[in-house]
Amino acid sequence: MCFYSLTSKAQTKQGAVFYEETRVSLTPEKRKQIEEQMTDPSIREMIFKRLEENSKSSMVLIFNQNISSYKISENQGGDLRVKSLGEGTGKNYFKDLSNHSYISQADILGKPFLISDILKKIDWKLTGNGKQINKMNCQKATAIVGKYEVEAWFTLEIPVSSGPANYWGLPGLIVELKEKGGKTFTFKEFKEEKPSDAEMLTPTEGKKVSQKEYDEILAQKTKELTGGGDASGSGGVKIIKMN
């Protein structure tokens, strides 16, 4: 297991990294379900195309040594109003590494939630592989996070233990990351600049809940919405309102 030497340029501990976040929006199960429900091939293709178009988002991670804020970039293109049950548009994932906590924003059927909890430790394993991303020397690390096998590339040239979404815990900033069967975070641009006070403000909008409480509410509403089925959409469809 090896570490790659740093370049001679000064290290930075603040700035903004722009990512393209890609979600797996058209799983084989969802494709099959749409094909069974939509007999008109032109409508099916339109739905497939729309799902693919809305599977990508332009995101930015604004950070200093202890605080990071991951959210939709201001130059985001496309239709931001298209969203899934339990996925908020314009969400902000705020991490405080000084006390290993996070606050994130999400919504369920239009009702905003403010999720506050402790960052889970990630058991990263260094592989010894390296490559350059945007002229930065990067190292590869892997881990199992929830249901995903994760592959991350991080750089010691930015010695900040953060990354996109809920990822953290490496000795350098995570520049790229891939969840096998899940999301992919692809590096687009890095800007070395001091974040403004407004950019680092803690999110405040939404009903305050823990991650467990939010997951339980989402599971219940998904069950009600699908008539007793699961999130894949099996069962009859009902109209459900949040209180």
Label residues 204-231 b or e (16+ Cβ within 10 Å = b).
eebeebeeeebeebbeebbeebbeeeee
What is the DSSP secondary-structure string of 60-87? Answer: EEEE-SSEEEEEE-TT--S-TT---TT-
* In the chain, where the domains are located: 15-225
Instruction: Quote the Cα angle for 114-116-119, to 5°.
Output: 140
Give pLDDT tens digits for 18-49.
999 987 665 566 666 666 666 677 766 676 56
Task: Give, for 153, the enclosing helix (H) or strand (E).
Answer: strand 148-155
Cα-based distances in Å from 198 to 69, 100, 113, 165: 11, 21, 21, 19
In this predicted structure, the answer to whether residue 203 has a pLDDT above a threshold of 90 is no
* Per-residue confidence band for 78, with pLDDT thresholds at 50, 70 and 90: very low
* Per-residue confidence band for 16, with pLDDT thresholds at 50, 70 and 90: very high
In this predicted structure, the answer to whether residue 4 has a pLDDT above a threshold of 50 is no
Does domain 15-225 bear CATH number 2.50.20?
yes
Which range has the top average pLDDT, 70-74, 137-141, 227-231? 137-141
* Per-residue confidence band for 239, with pLDDT thresholds at 50, 70 and 90: very low
In this predicted structure, the answer to whether residue 238 has a pLDDT above a threshold of 50 is no
At a CB cut-off of 8 Å and minimum separation 6, what does 46 contact? none
Cross-strand pairs, 209: 115
Give pLDDT tens digits for 121-161.
999 999 999 999 999 999 999 999 999 999 999 999 999 99
Write down the pTM of the prediction: 0.75
Contact 3, 172 (CB under 8 A): no
Tokens at 106, concatenated: 């999400």
84: nearest Cα among 115, 37, 50, 119? 50
